[in-house]
Structure 1
Amino acid sequence: MNKPYRRTCRAFLDGEYSEGGRWQYMMHEKYSNDPQHYIRAFLLIQQDLKDLFAYVEPDDINLKTYSHRIHQLLMRTCVEIEANFTAILLENNYQKHGNWNMDDYKLINFSHRLSSYDARIPGWHGKKFLRTPFINWSHNKPLKWYQAYNKSKHDRQNNFKKAKFKHLIDAVCGLAIVITSQFSNNSYFPGPIGIALEYQGYDSDDKMISAIGELFRVKMPTDWPMDQRYDFDWSKIKSLSDPFQEFDHASCRGKPFF
């Protein structure tokens, strides 16, 4: 891949993502349209999740908990995931008549390999600390947390209990992954230019990076096929009129994942 795709963070041939300044392509104005718009929304949701933790402890024992606060935050999070999916497809020139739905959004797994990401919240109590919100896509199965969102959105009276804490955690971890798969941990806010400082916790050898906002730890995919990895010298292509290419999501319809 001698040009990066728009809104797409991928490993290079050596398996690394940002070492040696290779993250700089993400700072180009043609890489993404208004990334701060999406990052700010994510940070608001992240803060609201932190506030929720003051009442619902991040613990396995609470995964079946449900409430109006949990339901509302699940709704907002899934809407934000859809907004990011739409932006990725639009900026890669995806075209299809009619409304887009999950059949369209899941095509992003081909370009971003979302099902290969892991996420966790440091300080979680119990064994369910590692979340793989998109893993079902690799088996061509629906996302349970997204189904819970859809059912409780359209019929809250009868499906209110489906909006559980565990589905909220998977959804917010999913949003953290979607944001990371586009922007790594570059927040695009004023300050020193570069990737955020690394997490220095006692478990910082977990082979993960701190996501934007530093609540989540995210493991980037390590299984990119060699022919799908980036192989460009940004210093040589950054002055091109358009140093990016578009991923053809439409061509992936009907194909099995990986």
Structure 2
Amino acid sequence: MLDLENGFYLYVNYDTINGVKYQTIRTPFEVSNGKLIVSSCDLCEDETDKTILYQHPLPIDISHYTEQDLIRELETFNTSYCVTRNGISDTIDSVKKEFIRLNLNCGTIYKGIYRPLLNENIAKHSDDLINDLPKQDAYVDLPIMDRQEYSNRLNQLELLLDDLYDVFKVVAPYKENLSCFGNKIRNIIILACTEIDSMMKGILEKSKVKPQFKFYTTNDYIKLNIPLQLNEYTLSLSRFEELGDFKPFLKWDSNNPTGSLSWYLDYNNVKHDREVNFSKANLTNAIDSIMALAAIMMSRFGYRNELWYEKVGKIIKIKAEPKWNIRELYIPRRDGEEFTPINYPF
């Protein structure tokens, strides 16, 4: 007999070619106490946003089904599948079948942590997934839950960018000038890193993670690196791409959580002893600090929304971002329900 735990699944067909797994999502479904609830990846509109999961109204009793019975049932909802191999279409009989269980249930999200939203663009064509990874250009973000906090954070980021551009009016944004330092640049670094401390502390507090000592430090913040995948962000300044790409968290290491972030270590040094460490209040650290703040904001809220595009989307270019396994995606809420934030299992 079929033995599937309660949860949300994707019925997937796949083939493996040259060691690469090409997968096509056929039918999303939920198992609940022996009942099958078939869903669609289409997001239906309500009065506020497009994040309601469409579900077929009649649950199906599968308590006595075998795996093959379930596959036959699911295939009645989507029968147009084919997979392309080197320009030749193969029929469904030639590919393998699997059930992928997503980590969370409908409408459940982690507190203060971004994930893309399962949507129809991720399940639109053959080869929707490659080695369990959806295409990044199909990502859809959650609606902003707390627009006031998001606007305030964006305003602070925008002000820091304005201050940086004011510096560029005096110090030309050339690579040769990235070592230039001064009080205005020091202020940018301190304000940006103070905001970073605030955001990281806030994410940990939301999930009830207490600091190791009296106050939160990088020894605590490093816990965020894996769930937020901060080391995967690569950013640049759109008008000044000749300054290069910035990867502020690329080398973040739990064995040395402060020292492995050179810009953060320098922030601490110039904050506590300006005269000795004044040269570390330089443009490189200022830009890294601003880019680190932008990366944390994206890992907290996403960026596919009108407020981001309006305020910073034309200034900061996103060159690379995390690739999320299909199991990690958030699932839209059901009609009549709200999103339910839960603690991340640190």
Normalised-by-shorter TM-score class: 0.7 to 0.9
Instruction: Give the conservation status (yes or no) of the 8 Å contact 2:181–2:281.
Output: yes
SS of residue paired to 1:119: strand
Following TM superposition, by how much is the alpha carbon of 1:248 offset from its aligned partner in structure 2, in angstroms?
A: 2.7
Q: Which residue of 1 aligns with 2:196?
A: 81
Q: Who is 1:221 aligned against?
A: 321
Question: Which of residues 145, 149, 161 in structure 1 aligns to 2:279?
Answer: 161
Q: 1:60 aligns with which of 165, 171, 175?
A: 175
- Out of 216, 219, 222, the residue aligned to residue 103 of structure 1 is 219
* Equivalent residue, structure 1, for 2:267: 149
Cα distance 1:33–1:91, how it changes in 2: closer, same or farther (>3 A)? farther
- Counterpart CA distance in 2 for 1:7 and 1:26 is 13
Partners of 1:231 and 1:243 in 2: how far apart?
Answer: 11
Structure 1's 106 and 158: CA in aligned 2 closer, same or farther, altered over 3 A? same
Query: Contact 2:109–2:342 at 8 Å: present in 1 too?
Result: yes
Which residue pairs with 2:334 in the alignment?
Answer: 236
Q: How far does residue 76 in structure 1 lie from its aligned partner after superposition?
A: 0.8
Taking structure 1 as the reference length, what is the TM-score of the superposition? 0.75
The reply on whether 1:181 has 2:181 as its aligned counterpart is no
C-alpha change, 1:77 and 1:247, in structure 2 (3 Å) is same
What is the deviation of 1:158? Answer: 0.5
SS of aligned partner of 1:244: strand
**Per-residue displacement from partner, 1:55-86 (whole Å, max 9, x unpaired)?**
12222111111111111111111111111111
Structure 1 CA distance for aligned equivalents of residues 149 and 238 of structure 2: 29
Q: Which amino acid aligns with 1:236?
A: R
Indicate the residue corresponding to 1:10 in structure 2. Answer: 115
Q: 1:235 to 1:213 in 2, by over 3 A?
A: same
Determine if the alignment matches structure 1 residue 48 to structure 2 residue 170: no
Equivalent residues in 2 for 1:13-24, closer than 5 Å: 14-16=134-136, 19=139, 22-23=140-141
Larger RCO (alpha carbons 8 Å, 6+ apart): 1
Deviations 1:162-207 (A, max 9, x none): 1111111111111111111122225675xxxxx748xxxxxxxxxx
Given the superposition, is the C-alpha separation of residues 225 and 70 from structure 1 closer, same or farther in structure 2, using an over 3 Å criterion? same
The structure-2 alpha-carbon separation of the partners of 1:140 and 1:92, relative to structure 1 and needing over 3 Å to count, comes to same
CA shift for structure 1 position 100: 0.7
Aligned length: 222
The structure in which a higher percent of residues are strand is: 2
Superposed CA RMSD in Å reads 2.7
TM-score (norm 2): 0.57
Q: Which runs of 5+ in 1 are unaligned?
A: 190-194, 198-210, 250-258
The CA distance in 2 between the partners of 1:237 and 1:91, in whole Å, is: 26
Question: How high is the sequence identity, in percent, across the aligned residues?
Answer: 22
User: How far is the alpha carbon of 1:216 from its aligned partner?
Assistant: 0.5
Mapped to 1, the partners of 2:253 and 2:298 lie a distance apart of 19
Structure 2 counterpart of 1:129: 244
- Deviation at 1:221? 2.9
1:151–1:159 CA contact under 8 A, matched in 2: yes
Which residue in 1 is equivalent to 2:40?
none
Displacement over 3 Å in runs of 4+: 15-19, 138-141, 186-189, 222-227
Q: Which amino acid aligns with 1:94?
A: V
